[in-house]
Structures are given as structure tokens and as C-alpha cells.
């Protein structure tokens, strides 16, 4: 952090890359920055206040909500509603989209999709968690309430995406389609400072991240790829290292910095995969491609998938390009793939 450029300064500095920009996107990113600071504060108090543990209800996916899931969802929603740039929010924690139909919301240009607190069940054991966000330009007419079509856009229509990782330090990483940049939060002065400019993932890596406890349920192609990762081929840097935290943001962040692949294939329990296309896969895939990596459902580019429902799930393979290419090849050659 030698030059100590803050996130706010960096956003303003980069506005020249968008000649048609009028400041709305910059203001929107500032709202996300504010909500991230608030959630950071509460996460760092976990264990000291009654903020950990289950909330006592399930979200639309049938998953037990944690108290911090609900807290983060409300804080990010409030931050979006307070600005004039967002006409609606889609959240993993909400059954339906939340439409801002007040006067300022009707003329807002953007919608946001988000996973307010990815990996929240890890809070109780002090493991890193994160927030994932995705920004689209609305396609419905200005002056009217947003509708579901504004949210069901393919990932290649994203104008910005990012994640916040709350770990040993809190980092905000984002892209607007011109590279990936990371900012580390300095709590002593309350600002995010540029720490990782133009982040790039190595084309090849030596880390694979998957819940191998589900091995017996994986497609044959994935099983063969895991055996490939474990083979002793020193000239090819194999066997690879297995690293799995169970928090998408944490595993993704490590692999992007060091090189690696994250896999969440379909299983018998989740034949369409478990991760959500709109809240997790699309934003992380946009970031990964901007960092020089690749993201696939095993057959096609994630960002080219046309969503058909708000909480749609997909198999997910993301990381170093050569590693994703390899697992796609195993899946193509496997008999249980259509």
C-alpha cells in the first residue's frame, strides 16, 4: 500500500475510462463500501455480542439463516435504498426481488444482485466469510418500477461485480470490466486502501478446492479429474494440493492470488449444482475472467448462461484457465455426461 490511494480516490481516478459515465456507478460503489464497513464491524464483534448462531428461520433455498445473514442483508439493502442509483435488489436471502418504487428508485439505472454473507455458518468458528455483489444496468424503462427481467440477465451484461472478504484483514475486490483491483481496509483510519492493483491469476495452479466428502456422488468426469490432481507427476507439479475452506469467497480469493481451481459439481442431491448463478457464480466469474482466469459449468461459459429463475443453481468450475480446461475435457470424455 505504498501510494495509499483510497477506494474513493481510485474510483474517481478511473472514471475517465467511461466517457459516458455520470457518476452513478461510482456513487453505488461508495454505498457498497459503507455497508461493508458496517458488516466488518459486526463480524469483528462476533462472540462478544449476540450476533452469531442461527436466526431461527430458513431462506428460500431451505437453508438455515444465520443471524449475520439477516443483519448483512438488511444493511446492504438499506445502503442501496438510500441512494438514487438502484431501482431494485435481488438477494439470496429474499424470496423475491425487492423493488424500490419510490420517486428516486423509479429513475434509477441499476439493479444489484447479492449474497450478503457467503459462508456465514463459519462465523461461529472464526473462519473467513464474505459478501458477493453484481451490478447490472436495468433494461426496463426509466420512470417505472423495475421488474424481474431486469434481474434475469446473463452475466455478460454485468457492468460491475465484486466481493468483500472478512478475514485476517477485510478486503474489497471489484471489477468494472477493466481489470480487477483489491483494497484492504485500514480500521485505524476507516478507509479501504489500494493494496492489489490489476490482480491476475496464474494460468496454471497447483491447488484444487472441492468438498471431497461428496466424492461418491460426483459425476465420473470430476472423479477422474480428482485422480489426475492426485497423481504423482513431479514434472507436471502434481500431485496438486487440496485446500477447501467451505466459504466460496475465501477459496476463490486464495486461488486467484496463488493459482488454482474451485469445483462445485452437480451431485445426486443437487443435480443442477448447488451454487446460485445470479448471486455467486456470475459475479465471481466476471471477476475471474477479468483477472485472466476461466469459469464454466463444465460445458459452457458461465457468463453466457441465460437465467430462467431468480434462485437458479448451476455446477461451477472456476480458476486458472488451464485447470478449468482440463476438468472440462474430463467431463466431455465421461460416459455420464450428455
Does a cis peptide bond (omega within 30 degrees of 0) precede residue 239? yes
Query: Is position 185 annotated in a ligand binding site?
Result: no
Query: Is position 251 annotated in a ligand binding site?
Result: no
In the listed set 168, 196, 224, which residue is the last one of a domain according to the structure?
196
**Could you give the residue ranges of the DSSP H alpha helices within 198-320?**
220-230, 248-258, 282-290
- Residue 134 — pLDDT band, cuts 50, 70, 90? very high
The CA-CA-CA angle for residues 139, 143, 147, to 5°, reads: 45
- Residue 61: predicted pLDDT: 57
Same domain, 216 and 182: no
Same domain, 253 and 104: no
In the listed set 126, 161, 196, which residue is the last one of a domain according to the structure?
196
Query: Is position 270 annotated in a ligand binding site?
Result: no
Same domain, 180 and 231: no
Query: Is position 240 annotated in a ligand binding site?
Result: no
Across the chain, mean pLDDT equals: 90
In the listed set 154, 172, 196, which residue is the last one of a domain according to the structure?
196
- Examine residue 117 and state whether it is found in any structural domain, yes or no: yes
Same domain, 168 and 291: no
Residues 305-329: tens digit of each pLDDT? 999 999 999 999 999 999 999 999 9
Residue 325 sits in a domain whose CATH number is: 3.40.190.80
Q: What phi and psi values does residue 100 have, to the nearest 5 degrees?
A: -95, 100
Same domain, 73 and 158: yes
- Examine residue 202 and state whether it is found in any structural domain, yes or no: no
Contact of 190 with 180, CB cutoff 8 Å? no
For 294, the 3-state DSSP assignment is strand
Contact of 263 with 205, CB cutoff 8 Å? no
- Examine residue 105 and state whether it is found in any structural domain, yes or no: yes
Query: Is position 118 annotated in a ligand binding site?
Result: yes
In DSSP notation, 159-211 reads EEEEEEEESSSEEEEEESSS-EEEEEEETTTTEEEEEESS----SS-SEEE--
- Examine residue 19 and state whether it is found in any structural domain, yes or no: yes
Question: 118: which strand partners?
Answer: 130
Q: CB-based burial of residue 89 (10 Å sphere; 0-12 exposed, 13-18 middle, 19+ buried)?
A: buried
**Mean pLDDT over residues 68-76, rounded?**
91
Same domain, 121 and 158: yes
pLDDT surpassing 90 at residue 42: no
- Examine residue 2 and state whether it is found in any structural domain, yes or no: no
- Examine residue 191 and state whether it is found in any structural domain, yes or no: yes
- Residue 115: predicted pLDDT: 96
Upper half-sphere CA count for residue 212 (Cβ side, 13 Å): 13
Query: Is position 289 annotated in a ligand binding site?
Result: no
Which of 41-45, 151-155, 241-245, 328-332 has the lowest average pLDDT?
A: 41-45
Q: Does the global pTM surpass 0.85?
A: yes
- Examine residue 338 and state whether it is found in any structural domain, yes or no: no
CA–CA separation, 294 and 298 (whole Å): 11
**Mean pLDDT over residues 254-260, rounded?**
97
CA–CA separation, 71 and 68 (whole Å): 5
- Residue 162 — pLDDT band, cuts 50, 70, 90? very high
- Residue 20: predicted pLDDT: 56
pLDDT surpassing 90 at residue 281: yes
**Mean pLDDT over residues 26-53, rounded?**
77
- Residue 182: predicted pLDDT: 97
Same domain, 35 and 88: yes
**Mean pLDDT over residues 218-224, rounded?**
97
- Residue 112: predicted pLDDT: 97
- Residue 15: predicted pLDDT: 76
- Examine residue 25 and state whether it is found in any structural domain, yes or no: yes
Residues 192-203: tens digit of each pLDDT? 999 999 999 999
CA–CA separation, 139 and 85 (whole Å): 14
pLDDT surpassing 60 at residue 183: yes
In DSSP notation, 161-174 reads EEEEEESSSEEEEE
pLDDT surpassing 90 at residue 69: no
Query: Is position 167 annotated in a ligand binding site?
Result: no
Q: CB-based burial of residue 292 (10 Å sphere; 0-12 exposed, 13-18 middle, 19+ buried)?
A: middle
Residues 96-111: tens digit of each pLDDT? 999 998 777 899 999 9
Same domain, 289 and 143: no
Query: Is position 274 annotated in a ligand binding site?
Result: yes
pLDDT surpassing 80 at residue 117: yes
Same domain, 232 and 149: no
Query: Is position 152 annotated in a ligand binding site?
Result: no
Which of 119-123, 136-140, 296-300, 302-306 has the lowest average pLDDT?
A: 119-123
Same domain, 284 and 173: no
pLDDT surpassing 50 at residue 274: yes
Query: Is position 113 annotated in a ligand binding site?
Result: no
**Greater confidence, 154 or 85?**
154
Query: Is position 244 annotated in a ligand binding site?
Result: yes
Same domain, 218 and 325: yes
- Residue 67 — pLDDT band, cuts 50, 70, 90? confident
Same domain, 94 and 221: no
Query: Is position 91 annotated in a ligand binding site?
Result: no
Question: Percent of the chain having pLDDT more than 70?
Answer: 90
Domain count, the chain: 2
pLDDT surpassing 50 at residue 1: no
- Residue 3 — pLDDT band, cuts 50, 70, 90? low
**Residue 182 belongs to domain spanning:** 7-196
**Mean pLDDT over residues 250-261, rounded?**
97
pLDDT surpassing 50 at residue 2: no
Residue 66 sits in a domain whose CATH number is: 3.30.540.10
Amino acid at each position: 500500500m505504498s501510494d495509499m490511494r483510497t477506494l474513493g480516490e481510485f474510483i474517481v481516478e478511473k472514471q475517465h475510462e467511461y466517457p459516458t459515465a455520470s457518476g452513478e456507478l461510482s456513487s453505488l460503489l461508495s454505498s457498497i463500501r459503507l455497508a461493508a464497513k458496517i458488516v466488518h464491524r459486526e463480524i469483528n464483534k462476533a462472540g462478544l455480542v449476540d450476533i452469531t448462531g442461527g436466526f431461527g428461520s430458513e431462506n428460500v433455498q431451505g437453508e438455515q439463516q444465520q443471524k449475520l445473514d439477516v443483519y448483512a442483508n438488511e444493511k446492504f439493502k438499506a445502503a442501496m435504498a438510500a441512494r438514487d442509483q438502484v431501482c431494485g435488489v435481488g438477494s439470496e436471502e429474499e424470496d423475491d426481488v425487492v423493488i424500490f418504487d419510490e420517486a428516486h428508485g423509479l429513475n434509477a439505472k441499476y439493479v444489484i444482485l447479492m449474497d450478503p454473507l457467503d459462508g456465514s455458518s463459519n462465523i461461529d468458528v472464526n473462519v473467513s466469510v464474505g459478501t458477493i455483489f453484481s451490478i447490472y444496468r436495468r433494461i426496463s424503462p426509466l420512470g417505472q418500477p423495475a421488474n424481474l427481467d431486469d434481474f434475469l440477465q446473463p452475466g455478460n451484461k454485468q457492468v460491475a461485480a465484486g466481493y468483500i472478504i472478512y478475514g485476517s484483514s477485510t478486503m474489497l475486490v471489484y471489477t468494472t470490466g477493466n481489470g480487477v483491483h483489491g483494497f484492504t481496509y485500514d480500521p485505524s483510519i476507516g478507509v479501504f486502501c489500494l493494496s492489489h492493483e490489476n490482480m491476475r491469476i496464474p494460468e496454471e495452479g497447483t491447488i484444487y478446492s472441492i468438498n471431497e466428502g461428496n466424492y461418491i456422488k460426483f459425476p465420473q468426469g470430476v472423479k477422474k479429474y480428482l485422480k489426475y490432481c492426485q497423481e504423482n507427476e513431479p514434472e507436471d507439479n502434481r500431485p496438486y494440493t487440496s485446500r477447501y475452506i467451505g466459504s466460496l469467497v475465501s477459496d476463490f480469493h486464495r486461488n486467484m492470488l496463488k493459482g488454482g481451481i474451485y469445483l462445485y459439481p452437480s451431485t445426486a442431491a443437487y443435480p443442477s449444482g448447488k451454487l446460485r448463478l445470479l448471486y455467486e457464480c456470475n459475479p465471481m466469474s466476471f471477476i475471474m475472467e477479468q483477472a485472466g482466469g476461466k469459469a464454466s459449468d463444465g460445458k459452457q461459459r458461465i457468463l453466457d448462461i441465460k437465467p430462467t429463475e431468480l434462485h437458479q443453481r448451476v455446477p461451477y468450475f472456476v480458476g486458472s484457465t488451464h485447470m478449468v480446461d482440463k476438468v472440462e475435457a474430463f467431463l466431455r470424455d465421461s460416459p455420464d455426461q450428455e
